[in-house]
Amino acid sequence: MPFSHIALAVFVMMLWGFNFTAIGLALHQINPLLLCVLRFFFSSLPAIFFIARPSIPFKKVIEYGLLTFALQFVLLFLGMYLGVTAGLTALLLQSNVFFSMFFAFLFLKEPIHGIQIIAAIIAFLGVAIIWSHIQGQVTPQGFLCVIAAAVCWSLGSLFARKMGKTNMFSVVVWSSFIAWPPVLFVFAGIQGEQTLPLLSQLFSLSWISWSAILFISYVSTLFCFYVWNNLLSHYPLTVVAPFTLLVPVFGMLSSALILKETLDSWKIYAGILIIIGLCVNLMGGKILKKKMIQ
């Protein structure tokens, strides 16, 4: 992997880390389902009028849009809305690396080695520390929503790999267009007669909320997913996925600086365990690859 691609991956992780803080800012004023609708509405329009459909079966675009975008981010936003802080969300979401490893084994027949199992155990000890603070600073509903979002991300990464080399910017735009109508339908079904009054409140949002929405839509979604999916189309999932270990670092720092989230000792211990697990997985993968070449 050339240095330019490594630097690009790190930059995307930094933006994704700040993304959780932007979501936290937006959720102060916006319903989580409506925020998901706005994210993908702006990510797809007006770009869809200028970007051709991806040169892959449209069924794959629909699957990717519904799973990786609609379902993942509904669960993610709900998790944060239900009581998981931005920094902890960034941390918990990194469990997608190990779900990705499991699904790659299950569907792509990629082997899982002992060192990867050890890495997963270390990382999930960190997740267990967070779970132990349920009813403290983390709600059980929010925790489960974020973990489910991580599962969706790992499955989405698997779908992205199976797409092969295609115009990933086109995939992101068209998948975003697929994502927002069903979420809007669910939002309207839940809110009923309050749907239009809630939509009219968008005109009174603060500039901070609108800035967060635009960052989430154009930077975090269009730019970051475009780069991420391009990396996935050129390199194995086990090589690209570990870069996400940087997301909680940037996420917790930006959340502490901007949202004034406290960095309690248990959060630091959980973060250290999860990042150590991710590092062991990354280094173990490289060692195993060298042994296979020899």
Condensed to tens digits (0 to 9), the pLDDT of residues 138-174 reads: 788 999 999 999 999 888 878 877 777 777 788 889 9
State how many domains the chain has. 1
Q: What is the per-residue burial (b if ≥16 Cβ within 10 Å, else e) of 185-204?
A: eebbeebeeeeeeebeeeee
Alpha helix (H) residue ranges in 93-137: 96-108, 114-131
Q: Using one digit for the tens of pLDDT, what is the confidence trace for 228-269?
A: 877 877 777 667 767 777 888 888 888 888 988 887 888 888
Question: What number of CA atoms fall less than 13 Å from residue 9's CA on the CB side?
Answer: 20
Domain of 190, in residue numbers? 3-293
Q: Using one digit for the tens of pLDDT, what is the confidence trace for 4-45?
A: 888 888 899 999 889 999 999 999 889 999 999 999 999 998
Residues 6 or more apart whose Cβ sits within 8 Å of residue 245: 94, 97, 274, 275, 278, 279, 282
Q: What pLDDT is recorded for position 174?
A: 94
Question: What number of CA atoms fall less than 13 Å from residue 273's CA on the CB side?
Answer: 20
